[in-house]
Amino acid sequence: MHEKSEPKKIKKALKSFPKPMRGIHSEIHAIAKEISEYCNEPKKFALYLGIIKRIGKNRAHQIFSEIKRPKNIKSPAKLFMFLSRTKKSLEKNKC
């Protein structure tokens, strides 16, 4: 009788386990989703994903924390794009 009750407990435990979010495959995807939703541009997820792949997840976290700090930013998306530029692209534009 004890053995029959155990499968029910396992089923309940499996049902309570949250399912992974659709389309989020890695930590980079999660960061891109969080940033795109914070900037109110969820449809531009691929844009943010590409930028994060280029600059790296550590730099993306750093930029995102800088954007979230001050509350008077009019366009967090533009600030993220500006801060994610590399030194090489800045030097090209100066010439």
The tens digit of pLDDT for each residue in 32-77 reads: 999 999 999 989 999 999 999 999 989 999 999 999 887 788 888 9
Q: What is the pLDDT of residue 49?
A: 93
Specify the pLDDT at position 59: 92
Distance CA 49, CA 59 (A): 13
Q: Residue 24 region, left (φ>0) first, then alpha (ψ -120 to 50), else beta? A: beta
> Which domain covers residue 80, as residue numbers?
23-84
Q: Say which amino acid occupies 17.
A: F
Q: What pLDDT, on a 0 to 100 scale, did the predictor assign at position 63?
A: 92
pLDDT at 50: 94
> Does residue 92 form part of some domain?
no
Closest by alpha carbon to 40, among 85, 83, 75?
75
Q: Is residue 36 part of a domain?
A: yes
Overall domain count for the chain: 1
Domain assignment present for residue 74? The answer is: yes
Confidence of residue 82 (pLDDT cuts 50, 70, 90): very high
DSSP E strand stretches across 30-93: none
